[in-house]
Amino acid sequence: MAVERTLVLLKPDAVARRLSGPILTRFEARGLKIVGLKMLQVTPELSKKHYAEHVSKPFYPQLEEFITSAPIVAIALEGPEAIAVVRAMMGPTNGRQAAPGTIRGDFGLSRQMNLVHGSDGPEAAAKELSIYFGPNELISSCGPLDHLTLADDEK
Ligand code: IDP
Ligand code: MG
């Protein structure tokens, strides 16, 4: 089983609505390990780098305006199949279509102000982690409770 790292962003709506704690709690409670964490303001340049695949789309200008509007929190999470686990916890892009129990389904109704970003595959995760974190800013440690959360062949 692959232990992966993935990038999560708590978007401006999540931070402004004081939902950083409740959302982070869900990831931690699930068993994902925080290996990097920082607050920052996204610049238009960073937005274009992060959302490179969307820059030419009609909705991009309003997406850039939104993501640069207020601080965000960037989180690097580690765990078995962390990329897919996080995407499932987030729910689909449009909060109106996200099931209760998912982050987007529990906290919002918007397609744009949908609280969280999560890398959508291993290539995106590697690229996005390197955009937000330097190698020395990602720290993984083993804790005394690790043996209670995963079997040896899942670590
Ligand atoms: P994802 O975040 O679920 O992976 P993407 O399709 O990669 O969704 O879109 C990136 C982000 O752009 C979304 O999370 C959302 O904030 C915004 N977005 C996506 N589609 C639209 C749209 O049609 N109008 C406005 N914003 C959108
Ligand atoms: Mg995406």
Q: Establish if 151 belongs to a structural domain.
A: no
Residue range(s) defining the domain that contains residue 45 = 3-145
Report yes or no: 66 and 82 within 8 Å, Cβ to Cβ.
Answer: no
At 78-111, the pLDDT tens digits run 999 999 999 999 999 999 999 999 999 999 999 9
Q: Establish if 91 belongs to a structural domain.
A: yes
Q: Establish if 153 belongs to a structural domain.
A: no
Q: Establish if 38 belongs to a structural domain.
A: yes
Strand segments, DSSP code E, in the chain are: 3-10, 33-40, 72-80, 116-118
The count of structural domains within the chain is 1
pTM to 2 decimals? 0.97
pLDDT band at 142 (very low <50, low <70, confident <90, very high): confident
User: For residue 151, how far is its CA from the centre of ligand 1 (angstroms)?
Assistant: 36
pLDDT band at 155 (very low <50, low <70, confident <90, very high): confident
Model confidence at 1: pLDDT above 80: no
Please state, rounded to an integer, the average pLDDT across all residues of the chain: 96
Question: Of all atoms in ligand 1, which is nearest to the CA of residue 66?
Answer: 16
Question: What pLDDT was estimated at residue 154?
Answer: 87
* Percent of the chain scoring above 90 in pLDDT: 88
Question: What pLDDT was estimated at residue 144?
Answer: 83
- Here the CATH number for the domain that contains residue 134 is 3.30.70.141
Q: Establish if 65 belongs to a structural domain.
A: yes
Give dist(CA 88, CA 103) in Å, integer.
9
Q: Establish if 52 belongs to a structural domain.
A: yes
Q: Establish if 74 belongs to a structural domain.
A: yes
Phi, psi of 107 (to 5 degrees): -115, 0
User: For residue 53, how far is its CA from the centre of ligand 2 (angstroms)?
Assistant: 9
Our answer to whether residue 117 is catalytic in this structure is: yes
User: For residue 117, how far is its CA from the centre of ligand 2 (angstroms)?
Assistant: 7
Q: Establish if 150 belongs to a structural domain.
A: no
Closest CA to 8 of 87, 81, 66: 87
Give dist(CA 116, CA 87) in Å, integer.
10
Tokens for 123, please give them.
């290539």
Q: What is the mean pLDDT of residues 118-128?
A: 98
Question: Of all atoms in ligand 1, which is nearest to the CA of residue 112?
Answer: 16
